[in-house]
């Protein structure tokens, strides 16, 4: 059982990485994805592996949950809530996506209003029951839903259940008695936090996914068995950890962002390996680009994800910012005569014009061809035929409209695309208060290495890294990850009045739940336990999260925590309010079962440059410049090349600008910095 496998089902390709634990060898391959049944593509790729019986574990990144939500292909859900409040999923928050867009149409929730039911019960803002649960009403409702046979899953969200879950838990028990076949999601178990709409939306998403995900994983398990796969099979969660198929099916909302987390996990591992604690990741593909940060060696988490604008899913997940822009983004001229790039994308159909599949609009990929940054003969190692003249033709159409030269126009397209990417980088850096100068940019995905050098210049990032296997980097991350469970709970305490015993007991409860969940999945090793607290000034409504390492809230620990909050507020917002009461809002824990990590092989030492494989004219700024061509596979530890240059590999191309140099480290990662630095 020597192989660890990572499989990433993407929009265009399914990527495979296998790691041989005996030889440290990494193999990567990809084959086309099969959107009608994504698991077909997985099996096709696995059939290429001869020693399938020798796989110790396989981890899968899947878009099954994401797609079910985006395509609205989930279950008929019933929503059960407190009397008087069945319209919360429809009222939402009342604001709109953009301030001057009268064409905007409000997002529809994942439930029909006719399937929303109210139960007589009420808990107040202190968690005290003011109206007991009407159990007869619950039983009658369960019977009605069961007999109608339309609803396939149940979502339950009572007001203030995060303070007192008794009614939700009791309702669940009654439904398990009366309608045992209906999957049920209760908000206390999905998202025990305040703000009823956000909790409703998250709980609805969970119930919406349950039947579909359960069925898919059952069928996948069977097919893996038939293939002879005996190792552990797991799926990637949005928090970057893995979990068993059974655990994922029990809370499918945890998988909303599964695939893109792999790139972040791999980046975290790389951050430690090459000792660069602050990274911003840039995963650019054909239609979308994902950005995230690694800060002090750790990935960042968020609870503000949205399915589409206005439909939040607030479970903790790796903070990946996705923008709908990539190599396929289309260039066009707006009514004011300004060149724009995207958000429309040529995608896989009709694809960029140069693919010759019928696309007749200029895309970023076409512009890169015109500029000589891509070479028509080298697409996917020469396996894909590309029509450079077609790229020239479509870019010329845009150029004529602008009365600009073709190359100047191609360059403008790339610059505007780069600026869109900068917007994404900015949203994870500056908008969160991070200075780009403290970071290195890590570029991967098919198109990331093409743009990375210009991006570091634009965003004042001093250092860029193109990792090994940039085209399959996410799948590599799956091989490297751990099992992880996150739990959170709202608590309402202040620095003026703090119940230490209560808070300690709640924290213990959360940790125990997370530990039991992992033990239940068969993890017997020692677990890593992390504790966090969310704090704010009394009166504020948003929190700063601080780590809290001790298991008990002692007097000294609290004093230190309040002090650290003032400091963190000053650091993040440039001010603090001395003497102000501080409110503790949420407790959370992350429990990790560390799994054995592959060690990447190191390269032999080299000196000088790898052999040059020719020369090519590449456009930078305002003219073509003769640029050296190198093969990535030729780089040894310490090899360095100077820009302008191109570094080729099968699934990607790295562009090195004039005035910059690239050096390979002992693992073969390329480090791009200003010449002479």
Partner 1 sequence: MDPVMMKVLDSTMVSICREMGIVLMQTSYSTIFNEALDFSCAIANRDGDMIACAEFCPAQIGGMPLMAKSVVKEIPLDQIYEGDVILHNDPYRGGLHTPEHTLFKPIFVDDEIRGFAVSIGHIAEVGGMVPGGFCGEATEIFHEGLRIPPVKIVSKGKDNEDIWRLMLANVRTPRYNFGDLRALISAVDLGERRMKEIYEKYGVDAVDQTCNDLMDYSERRMRAEIKQIPDGIYPFEDVVEDDGIEDRQYKIFVEVHKDGDDIVADFTGSAKQAKGPINATLGVTMSATYNALLHMTDPTIPKNSGCFRPIRVVAPAGTVVNVDFPAPEVGGNTETHPRIAGTVIGALAQVIPHLSMAAEGCTHGNFVFGGVHADTKEFFACYDIEVVGWGGRSFADGNDACDSINGNCRVTPVEVFEARYPWRVEDWVFREDSAGAGKHRGGVGYTKTLTCLNDEIIISQMTDRHKTQPWGLNGGLPGGMGATLFMKSGSSEWQTAVQAYNKNSPSKFSNISIVKGDRVQLVMPAGGGYGAPPDRDPEAVREDVAEGYVSADAARDIYGQRGADK
309 lies in the binding site for partner 1 (CB under 8 A): no
Q: Provide the 3-class DSSP secondary structure of residue 144.
A: helix
| 20, 67, 322, 340: which one binds partner 1 (CB under 8 A) | 340
Distance CA 19, CA 604 (A): 20
Taking contact as CB under 8 A, which single stretch among the options 48-56, 345-353, 409-417, 472-480 is the one that binds partner 1? 409-417
Q: Is the separation of the CB atoms in 213 and 74 below 8 Å?
A: no
Q: Scanning residues 222 to 261, which ones bind partner 1 (CB under 8 A)?
A: none
106 lies in the binding site for partner 1 (CB under 8 A): yes
603 lies in the binding site for partner 1 (CB under 8 A): no
* Residues linked to residue 292 through DSSP beta bridges, in sequence order: 281
Distance CA 293, CA 425 (A): 9
Strands (E) in 346-482, as ranges, are: 440-444, 463-466
Taking CA atoms, 422 is separated from 23, 264, 281, 328, 596, in Å, by 40, 18, 12, 17, 36
**Is-cis flag, bond preceding 144, omega within 30?**
no
Instruction: Find the helix packing angle between 166-178 and 135-148, rounded to 10°.
Output: 40
Taking contact as CB under 8 A, which single stretch among the options 7-15, 190-198, 231-239, 551-559 is the one that binds partner 1? 190-198
CB crowding 320-329: b at 16 or more within 10 Å, else e = bbebebbbbb
Q: Is the separation of the CB atoms in 86 and 116 below 8 Å?
A: yes
Distance CA 215, CA 217 (A): 6
Please state the closest distance from residue 658 (CB atom) to partner 1, in A.
19
Taking contact as CB under 8 A, which single stretch among the options 56-64, 83-91, 142-150, 375-383 is the one that binds partner 1? 83-91
Distance CA 30, CA 504 (A): 49
Please state the closest distance from residue 338 (CB atom) to partner 1, in A.
6
Distance CA 357, CA 370 (A): 18
195 lies in the binding site for partner 1 (CB under 8 A): yes
305 lies in the binding site for partner 1 (CB under 8 A): no
Q: Is 509 exposed, middle or buried (0-12, 13-18, 19+ CB in 10 A)?
A: middle
102 lies in the binding site for partner 1 (CB under 8 A): yes
Taking contact as CB under 8 A, which single stretch among the options 52-60, 171-179, 538-546, 630-638 is the one that binds partner 1? 538-546
| 22, 71, 100, 226: which one binds partner 1 (CB under 8 A) | 100
94 lies in the binding site for partner 1 (CB under 8 A): yes
Please state the closest distance from residue 300 (CB atom) to partner 1, in A.
15
Length of the chain: 677
| 37, 87, 306, 400: which one binds partner 1 (CB under 8 A) | 87
Distance CA 355, CA 450 (A): 18
Judged by CB, which is closer to partner 1: 419, or 673?
A: 419
| 22, 50, 101, 555: which one binds partner 1 (CB under 8 A) | 101
Tell me the number of residues near partner 1 by CB under 8 A.
67
Judged by CB, which is closer to partner 1: 457, or 629?
A: 457
Taking contact as CB under 8 A, which single stretch among the options 27-35, 67-75, 328-336, 588-596 is the one that binds partner 1? 328-336
Sign of CA dihedral 157, 158, 161, 166: negative
99 lies in the binding site for partner 1 (CB under 8 A): yes
434 lies in the binding site for partner 1 (CB under 8 A): no
Distance CA 455, CA 442 (A): 11
Distance CA 585, CA 649 (A): 50
Judged by CB, which is closer to partner 1: 39, or 194?
A: 194
398 lies in the binding site for partner 1 (CB under 8 A): no
549 lies in the binding site for partner 1 (CB under 8 A): no
579 lies in the binding site for partner 1 (CB under 8 A): no
337 lies in the binding site for partner 1 (CB under 8 A): yes
* HSE value, Cβ hemisphere, 13 Å, CA-based, for 153: 27
* Residues linked to residue 424 through DSSP beta bridges, in sequence order: none
Judged by CB, which is closer to partner 1: 579, or 676?
A: 579
132 lies in the binding site for partner 1 (CB under 8 A): no
415 lies in the binding site for partner 1 (CB under 8 A): yes
Distance CA 453, CA 26 (A): 27
145-164 footprint of partner 1 as x/- string (CB under 8 A): --------------xx----
Q: Classify residue 97 by its DSSP letter.
A: S
| 426, 564, 597, 613: which one binds partner 1 (CB under 8 A) | 426
96 lies in the binding site for partner 1 (CB under 8 A): yes
Q: Classify residue 363 by its DSSP letter.
A: B
Judged by CB, which is closer to partner 1: 523, or 537?
A: 537
Judged by CB, which is closer to partner 1: 402, or 601?
A: 402
Q: Is the separation of the CB atoms in 475 and 41 below 8 Å?
A: no
451 lies in the binding site for partner 1 (CB under 8 A): no
456-495 footprint of partner 1 as x/- string (CB under 8 A): --x-x-------------------------------x---
| 52, 58, 60, 88: which one binds partner 1 (CB under 8 A) | 88
Q: Is the separation of the CB atoms in 583 and 492 below 8 Å?
A: yes
Q: Classify residue 189 by its DSSP letter.
A: H
Q: Is the separation of the CB atoms in 503 and 587 below 8 Å?
A: yes
Taking CA atoms, 519 is separated from 21, 57, 279, 511, in Å, by 25, 18, 33, 12
Judged by CB, which is closer to partner 1: 402, or 636?
A: 402
Taking contact as CB under 8 A, which single stretch among the options 52-60, 322-330, 420-428, 615-623 is the one that binds partner 1? 420-428
Residues near 596 by Cβ (< 8 Å), separated by ≥ 6?
Answer: 21
304 lies in the binding site for partner 1 (CB under 8 A): no
| 44, 287, 419, 521: which one binds partner 1 (CB under 8 A) | 419
CA dihedral 314, 317, 319, 324 (to 10 degrees): -80
539 lies in the binding site for partner 1 (CB under 8 A): yes
Q: Classify residue 166 by its DSSP letter.
A: H
46 lies in the binding site for partner 1 (CB under 8 A): no
- 616 is written with which tokens? 């090519």
98 lies in the binding site for partner 1 (CB under 8 A): yes
- Which spans of this chain sit near partner 1 (rule: CB under 8 A)? 83-88, 90-106, 112-114, 124-125, 159-160, 194-198, 334-340, 402, 412, 415-416, 419-420, 422-423, 426-427, 430-431, 458, 460, 492, 537, 539-542, 569, 573-575, 577
């Amino acid at each position: 059982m020597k192989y660890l496998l990572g499989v990433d089902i993407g929009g265009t390709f399914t990527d495979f990485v296998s790691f041989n634990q005996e030889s440290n060898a990494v193999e990567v391959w990809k084959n086309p994805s099969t959107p009608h049944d994504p698991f077909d593509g997985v099996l096709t790729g696995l059939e290429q592996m001869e020693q399938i019986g020798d796989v110790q574990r396989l981890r899968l990144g899947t878009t099954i949950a994401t797609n079910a939500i985006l395509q609205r292909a989930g279950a008929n859900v019933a929503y059960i809530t407190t009397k008087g409040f069945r319209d919360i999923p429809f009222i939402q928050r009342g604001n709109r996506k953009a301030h001057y867009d009268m064409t905007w149409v409000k997002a529809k929730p994942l439930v029909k209003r006719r399937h929303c039911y109210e139960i007589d019960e009420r808990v107040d803002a202190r968690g005290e029951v003011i109206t007991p649960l009407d159990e007869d009403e619950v039983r009658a409702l369960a019977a009605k839903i069961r007999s109608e046979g339309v609803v396939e899953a149940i979502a339950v969200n009572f007001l203030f259940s995060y303070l007192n879950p008794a009614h939700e838990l009791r309702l669940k028990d009654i439904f398990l008695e009366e309608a045992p076949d209906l999957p049920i999601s209760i908000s206390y178990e999905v998202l025990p936090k305040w703000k009823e709409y956000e909790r409703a939306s998250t709980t609805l998403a969970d119930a919406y996914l349950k039947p579909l995900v359960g069925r898919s994983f059952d069928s996948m398990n069977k097919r893996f068995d038939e293939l002879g796969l005996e190792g552990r099979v797991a799926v990637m969660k949005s928090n970057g950890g893995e979990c068993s198929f059974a655990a994922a099916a029990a809370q499918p909302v945890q998988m909303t962002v599964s695939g893109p987390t792999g790139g972040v996990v791999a980046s975290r591992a790389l951050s430690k390996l090459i000792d660069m604690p602050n990274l911003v990741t840039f995963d650019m593909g054909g239609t979308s680009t994902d950005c995230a940060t690694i800060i002090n060696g750790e990935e960042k988490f968020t609870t503000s994800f949205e399915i589409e604008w206005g439909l939040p899913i607030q479970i903790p997940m790796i903070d990946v910012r996705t923008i709908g822009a990539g190599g396929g983004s289309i260039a066009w001229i707006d009514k004011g005569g300004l060149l724009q790039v995207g958000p429309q994308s040529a995608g896989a159909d009709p694809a960029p014009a140069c693919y010759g599949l019928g696309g007749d609009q200029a895309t970023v990929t076409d512009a890169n061809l015109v500029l000589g940054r891509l070479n028509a003969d080298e697409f996917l190692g020469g396996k894909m035929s590309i029509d450079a003249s077609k790229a020239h033709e479509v870019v010329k159409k845009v150029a004529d409209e602008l009365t600009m030269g073709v190359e100047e126009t191609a360059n403008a397209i790339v610059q505007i695309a780069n600026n869109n990417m900068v917007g994404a980088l900015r949203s994870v850096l500056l908008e969160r208060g991070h200075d780009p100068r403290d970071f290195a940019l890590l570029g991967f995905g098919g198109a990331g290495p093409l743009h990375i050098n210009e991006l570091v210049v634009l965003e004042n990032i001093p250092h860029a890294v193109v990792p090994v296997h940039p085209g399959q980097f996410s799948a590599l991350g799956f091989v490297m990850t751990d099992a992880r469970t996150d739990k959170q709970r709202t608590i309402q305490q202040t620095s003026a009045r703090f119940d230490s015993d209560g808070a300690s007991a709640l924290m213990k409860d959360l940790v125990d739940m997370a530990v039991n969940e992992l033990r239940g999945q068969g993890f017997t090793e020692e677990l890593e336990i992390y504790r966090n607290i969310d704090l704010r000034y009394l009166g504020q409504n948003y929190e700063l999260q601080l780590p809290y390492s001790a298991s008990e809230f002692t007097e000294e620990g609290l004093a230190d925590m309040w002090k650290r909050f003032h400091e963190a507020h000053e650091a993040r917002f440039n001010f603090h309010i001395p003497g102000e009461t501080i409110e503790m809002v949420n407790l959370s824990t992350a429990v990790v079962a560390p799994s054995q990590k592959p060690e990447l092989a190191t390269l032999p030492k080299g000196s000088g440059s790898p052999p040059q494989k020719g020369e090519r004219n590449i456009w930078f700024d305002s003219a073509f410049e003769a640029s050296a061509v190198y093969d990535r596979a030729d780089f040894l530890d310490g090899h360095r090349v100077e820009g302008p240059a191109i570094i080729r590999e099968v699934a990607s191309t790295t562009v090195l600008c004039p005035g910059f140099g690239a050096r390979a480290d002992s693992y073969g990662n390329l480090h791009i910095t200003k010449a002479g630095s």
